Structure 1
Amino acid sequence: MQTPAAPPQRSGLSNILGNLGWIAGGKGFGAVCSLAYLAVLSQSLGVRGFGHFSLIFGTGQALVAIVGFQTWKTLVRFGAEAVHRADWARFGRLVWLCGLIDAVGVAVGIALAAVIYYSFADALELNPDFVDMAFTFNCVLLVSRLTTATGIVRVLDRFDVATYVEALNPVGRLVAAFVILGIGASVERFLFAWAALELASAIAYWAAAWYLAPHAIRRQHFGNFGQVVRDHPGVLNFFGMTYAGSMLDALFRQGPLLAVGHFLGTSAAGIYRLADQLAQGFGKASQLLSRAVYPEFARARFADGMTGFRRLVLQVTAMAAGAGLVVTMLALAFGSDLLALLGGDDFARGGAVLIPLVAGAAFDLAGATYEPILHSLGHAFYPLVARALAGLALVAAVLQLAGLGAVGIGWAVAIGFACAYLLLSLLVWLTLRRASATA
């Protein structure tokens, strides 16, 4: 088998736009599917049933974030140079280390899931009949959300392949939702279908990674982890930084939902979840942009020099700010009507919750490029500090505003994202200024 060459190089902005086009096309298609299956879920299960489903799924997502080291970021950050030079042995050693760390995270996550569901299910007002099923679902979710394969596909600049693989989940969920609706909707059936689709998507990602990088994923590259540390100075610190960042992301993404379940009950959690899903749908562009720019920033830093890197940063940051404004206007104009359309009358009162959640999503989108910028400049600690301080602001705001109900917790989320955006803006400005002065 012929050794693969390094991916062809293109100009930074065109590469980002190309990546973004593939991601946005896939995610846009997925968003349409998700709106349809969310409507089926919420209307067939009702407020309380959808609340149970949301708390189980949200807890699983929180566990994935808490024990996940975001190994795809490490592969992109430290593997980009090896891929650029077609050094597949060096890249392969890094892949195996990331895979091993992923596996350790899964083991820890399963242990945490057992503690949560068999000791604290009452705190979430979870139906006792759902405990065993919820634990099993969370175990499947942990295994399915390993990100090493995702990192391989992204660092090789094959966002087209990623788009096709990631389309499996929303399409499968849409088909499964209508099948379940026809045979009889229940929380158990939806969870089983979602778990099966997560596993199928994970298998497809690993198959794609093996197809794209067969010379990297070889047994002969496994085990020499000391060499990985020598090849990539700072890789262990980066693992630690991304792990802490993943935990803080869980605080922002899933913490408010669990707080609603704890303070206000299962039905309120269902209403909040649908509003939050819609707000995150409007704000998905932040994740799309971050995924598209991360590999390119990692390459541009050593391939284009500081001048080219700074120009690319300014272009993409301006694009993110404009997108944040557009998303906010669209969400405020059509969000409440869409929420009522999706969930029906029982969920219509979630429109008031949607406003602060959209505001938070807009801040998240406007700052979507900041973390990749700081990581590419070797300052992974900076976004961690900013998010930690913003997380403290979020927790304080939740405790102060929980008495106002789900709307109060929604405004706490907006405050947290606003604090993160302001702190990251300041850190990026100072870092770029210092880097330009020393270039």
Structure 2
Amino acid sequence: MKAGAADGGTGRHPVLRRIARNASWVLAAQILSALLGLASLAFAARALGPAGLGMLAAAQAYGWILNRLLHLEPWQSVLRFGVEAQEAGQQQRFLRLVKFSLLADLAGGGLAGCAALAAAPAAAGWLRLGPEGGSYLMLLALALFLNLRPTGLAVLRVLDRFDLLAKADVAVAAVRLGLCAAAWAAGLGLWGFLLIALLEGLASGLAAFVLALRQLRRSGHGSLRQLPLAGLRRENPGLLRLLWNSNINVILRQSVQRLDVILLTALAGPAAAGSFHLARRLGEAAQKLGRPLNQAVYPEFARKWAAGDAAGLRRLALGLCGAVAASGLLLLALLAPVMAPLLTRLFGAEFAAAAPVVCVQMAAAALLLTGMMLGNALLSCGRDSWLVRMSLAASALFLAALAVLVPMAGPLGAALAHLVLGLALTAGNGWLLLRPLPPRGGAEAAP
């Protein structure tokens, strides 16, 4: 009894304090990064106008998609097995995982960078970026070669240094804001903001890694240079399988959604893509502010399920989703009447016509947030395979809506496609949650 009491009295509270501390760092970094990012967007929009902003967005989306498709990020695998190695005091095993991660990042970055350089001339023509479009894409492709952020992220999280990661992200966002303000004041055009995007990509890719190496040295870990990789797979069974599985779901979900700017640029031109990019960034900022709530409620869902309270889990999930949806509708009702003058004041008169697109994108962001929250409820009660199927179906529906609506309505069509995606995820995940749940610890029934 004493041991149990000690565990309950002292063993759990440090864990809760650590979770709260790390979550607060993540939340603060997300809020500050979102605000700094919107300020940077305002300077870029005023300097470039819709067409220039669309070209910048298309060039960034091009590199991002190739990086996501060809650079398998190893941080989830390293985090999973690295924590186990640290807990067991197996320093060499942990360092082998870090070296494997570094080599995987270098290989993936090299593959993505070479592909981006090789395909740039053809992609620039398809995206209608003009005679210098290939050079735009090639410039931003250089940052792909040195994207070591996944390794840095894994090491800092294993070593419980979320604070360093948060500070690095906010610092990069702050420097980007300063450079964007200077570029706007100096009257620099698209090349100036492309150079800023390149510097931001390099800083984001290297800052976390440099901090991770310094933290490894301060923690007393040895050098990676002469460390052999022999025995890596034996020490970490399932490492490569986890590397693949942890990436494939993210690749499918994120790459599909990032195709909107590429398709819109190709079909409707850079100016339409610029207006939509502005709307999407505003929606993403609102969604980012709601993600900490989404992360915080997952343990509560799990506790309801562990207690056998399926009805309580449903009530909690549906109640929270109703509150999020109501808050989103209230915010939209307040902002919609003044959206056009607000966009004019913040981003310039050329973006006033994007007000309907912004309103639709904000509604889509609220629906996506509720869909993700319902997805967490499904994960907590063992319906992960159903969730994957629903995500794939919703992504297919999104692509179909994008292909049909963009030629018809341009940037508004792209925003409506996101609204379709949000509706599909919210309705589909809600339907799955309302179906009879499997017994706790039991297998899922087929839908």
Task: Report if the CA contact (8 A) 2:71-2:111 is conserved.
Answer: no
1:213 aligns to what SS in structure 2? helix
Following the alignment from structure 1 to structure 2, what is the Cα–Cα distance between the partners of residues 219 and 378? 39
Aligned-pair distance for 1:212?
A: 2.8
CA RMSD, 1 decimal: 3.9
Following the alignment from structure 1 to structure 2, what is the Cα–Cα distance between the partners of residues 204 and 178? 22
Following the alignment from structure 2 to structure 1, what is the Cα–Cα distance between the partners of residues 381 and 102? 25
Hey, what does 1:392 align to over in structure 2? 396
Task: Report if the CA contact (8 A) 1:279-1:357 is conserved.
Answer: yes
Following the alignment from structure 1 to structure 2, what is the Cα–Cα distance between the partners of residues 265 and 71? 36
Q: Deviations over 1:86-133 (max 9, x none)?
A: 433333222222222222221221232124312231111112213223
Give the counterpart of 1:233 among 233, 237, 244. 237
Following the alignment from structure 1 to structure 2, what is the Cα–Cα distance between the partners of residues 60 and 53? 11
Hey, what does 2:335 align to over in structure 1? 334
Hey, what does 1:419 align to over in structure 2? 424
Hey, what does 2:215 align to over in structure 1? 212
Q: Deviations over 1:359-405 (max 9, x none)?
A: 33223323446778888999986654433222211111112222122
Following the alignment from structure 2 to structure 1, what is the Cα–Cα distance between the partners of residues 409 and 318? 36
Hey, what does 2:274 align to over in structure 1? 270
**Which deviates more, 138-147 or 178-187?**
138-147
TM-score for both structures, normalised by structure 1: 0.82
Hey, what does 1:5 align to over in structure 2? none
Hey, what does 2:186 align to over in structure 1? 183
Q: Does 1:67 align with 2:66?
A: no
Structure 1 alignment gaps of length 5 or more: 1-7
Q: Residues 207-356 of structure 1: matches in 2 within 5 Å?
A: 207-214=210-217, 218-219=223-224, 222-224=227-229, 227-285=231-289, 288=292, 307=306, 321=321, 322=323, 326-327=327-328, 329-331=330-332, 333-334=334-335, 336=339, 338-356=342-360
Structure 2 alignment gaps of length 5 or more: 1-10
The structure-2 alpha-carbon separation of the partners of 1:319 and 1:429, relative to structure 1 and needing over 3 Å to count, comes to closer
Question: One-letter code of the match for 1:257?
Answer: V
Q: Residues 36-55 of structure 1: matches in 2 within 5 Å?
A: 36-55=39-58
TM-score for both structures, normalised by structure 2: 0.80
Q: Does 1:118 align with 2:106?
A: no
Task: Report if the CA contact (8 A) 1:113-1:135 is conserved.
Answer: yes
Aligned-pair distance for 1:31?
A: 2.1
Give the counterpart of 2:29 among 21, 26, 29. 26
Question: One-letter code of the match for 2:327?
Answer: V
Hey, what does 1:83 align to over in structure 2? 86
Question: One-letter code of the match for 2:182?
Answer: V
Give the counterpart of 2:363 among 359, 365, 384. 359
Higher relative contact order (CA 8 A, sep 6+): 1
Hey, what does 1:4 align to over in structure 2? none
1:436 aligns to what SS in structure 2? coil
Number of equivalenced pairs: 425
Q: Deviations over 1:30-78 (max 9, x none)?
A: 2222222211110111121111111111212222222232322223334
Hey, what does 2:96 align to over in structure 1? 93
The structure-2 alpha-carbon separation of the partners of 1:270 and 1:237, relative to structure 1 and needing over 3 Å to count, comes to same
Task: Report if the CA contact (8 A) 1:324-1:362 is conserved.
Answer: yes
